[in-house]
Amino acid sequence: MEEQLLAWFQKHGRDLPWRRTRDPYAILVSEVMLQQTQVDRVLPRYLRWLERWPTPAALAAAAPADVIREWQGLGYNRRAINLYRASQAVAAGIWPEDLTELPGVGPYTAAAIRNQAFDEPVLPVDTNVARIQERTGHAFGPGALQALFDLGATICLARVPRCGICPLAQRCPSRGKRYEPLRKQSRFEGSFRQRRAALLRLVAEEARPRETLDLEAVDSLLRDGLVECDGPLVRLPARVI
């Protein structure tokens, strides 16, 4: 089954820039950006980010306010601060043996970096990979990672898989099945996340008097290190601890 998958990927795999590098920093950037954000949205931002900050040292030397502004529009802005903190931790070029020691790096992201940057025989299992393995009943090896990503994103879809063009369909016990919709993510419109994002955009333009702002959102952003208070003003952070 894996042979068929890899043959399909050789012909149909997506040409993504983070697949052309073994640089752990570049792969970390891609993995953090791709958390809960679609590939099409990430592509131009990933390229721009690496053009501006091509190394961990370059990012670590940046002003936190600039990092947050550059992240605007990708959502879940705390990821920007985690990426900034992680770059500070590896600015000397030393990556910890346990990558989960880096801010914002959980077991999945650590496994993804180990697989793609360090060529370690581990298979990171995200939603797509887990879905394919469950449906096919096959345990794929680490070398199939990128093929699994693409199959899950384009063919083995969550609700209505495209079994008619799937390279694994002939041997897949789940061929032709349809699935109930997964639990939808809570709506952004009218949510606290939207209030946080709106406040951060305001503060990114210029420092604002705290008394004029959504205080609950201010406190939440303060806890995440995305803003700081300078007397009565709320502004983007001058430094991140």
Task: Kindly provide the residue ranges of all beta strands, DSSP E only, lying in 127-227, ordered along the sequence.
Answer: 208-209
Q: In what order do the strands lie in the sheet with 228-230?
A: 208-209, 233-235, 228-230
Q: How far apart are CA 74 and CA 35, in angstroms?
A: 10
Catalytic residue among 31, 101, 206, 216: 31
Query: How big is the chain, counted in residues?
Result: 241
The helix/strand/coil state of 207 is: coil
**Can 180 be counted among the known catalytic residues?**
no
Rounded Cα distance, 218 and 195, in Å: 10
DSSP summary character for residue 241: -
Type of residue numbered 70:
E
The Cα 149–Cα 146 span in angstroms is 5
CA dist 12 and 122 (Å) reads 23
The DSSP code sequence of 80-149 is: HHHHHHHHHHTTTS---SSGGGSTT--HHHHHHHHHHTS--S-----HHHHHHHHHH-----GGGHHHHH
Report the chain's C-alpha Rg in angstroms.
20
- Please list the active-site residues: 31
